[in-house]
Amino acid sequence: MKILLIEDDMSIFKVIKERFTQWSFDIVGPENFHEVMKTFHMEQPQLVMIDIQLPAYDGFHWCREIRAVSKVPILFLSSRDHPMDMVMAMQMGADDFVQKPFHMDVLLAKVQATLRRTYDYQEPAATIHAWNGATIDYDRALVSYQHAQIELTKNELYILKILVKAKGQIVSRDELMRALWDDERFVNDNTLTVNVNRLRQRLEEIGMNDVIITKKGLGYMAVEK
């Protein structure tokens, strides 16, 4: 698997490259931080890791640019510890956020988990599912309702799939976090809230209101109307 590492601190870049190469990952980086998208299109990575503070444009800018053309998983690395940085990253479609300084084993585990969710997750269930008059196409990450259609990110689709599969039953936050990130100990609770709220907003865009409800102190539930 090829990983595009957008990191201007060469000491961090070299440490990550050395460790990940031992696990058969191919780590590449941009030669010019003004031309990150040129590198992205040329290398076609399976995952992108981005620092927030970069020369020229920050990591949020490049996340937006990549998300405009690709659903490749994106993982943020940052020494900034303000909660809004994590919230912004997740709202822009990032898959995870790792705060510096980090333990290399934790970073490696998060990357491997993200790649498994993205490329290895399969379930012997129908790829087209009907729910509340909508059609969910799991293969194409599309939800169609009446004459409208939206495309979901991997996390949005995965959350929806878990909730719809258990429709009418409460799915706890811990259960969702374990399913999404494998080990919730390394995840800020805000990231799940951001992803669920963003999923609700996307569904509301096509007229599907109040189909995912919050059970205070318990979790979330997909309802059948």
Question: What domains does the chain contain, in order, with CATH numbers?
Answer: 2-120 (3.40.50.2300), 128-222 (1.10.10.10)
Q: Per residue of the chain (225 residues), give pLDDT as tens.
A: 899 999 999 999 999 999 999 888 999 999 999 999 999 999 999 999 999 999 889 999 999 999 988 989 999 998 877 778 888 888 888 999 888 888 888 899 889 888 888 876 444 445 788 899 899 998 889 999 988 999 998 888 989 999 999 999 999 988 888 777 664 445 567 888 888 999 999 999 999 999 999 998 899 999 987
Task: Specify the pTM.
Answer: 0.58
Q: 135: which strand partners? A: 130, 144
The number of residues in the chain equals 225
Q: What Rg value do the Cα atoms of the chain yield, rounded?
A: 18
Per-residue pLDDT reduced to its tens digit, 176-219: 887 776 644 455 678 888 889 999 999 999 999 999 999 988 99
8 A C-beta contact, residue 5 and residue 19: no
Select from 80, 70, 85 the least CA-distant residue to 36. Answer: 70
With the CA atoms of 147, 153, 158 and 164 taken in that order, what torsion angle do they form, in degrees rounded to the nearest 10? -20
SS3 call for 70: coil
Q: How far is CA 108 from the centre of its chain?
A: 16
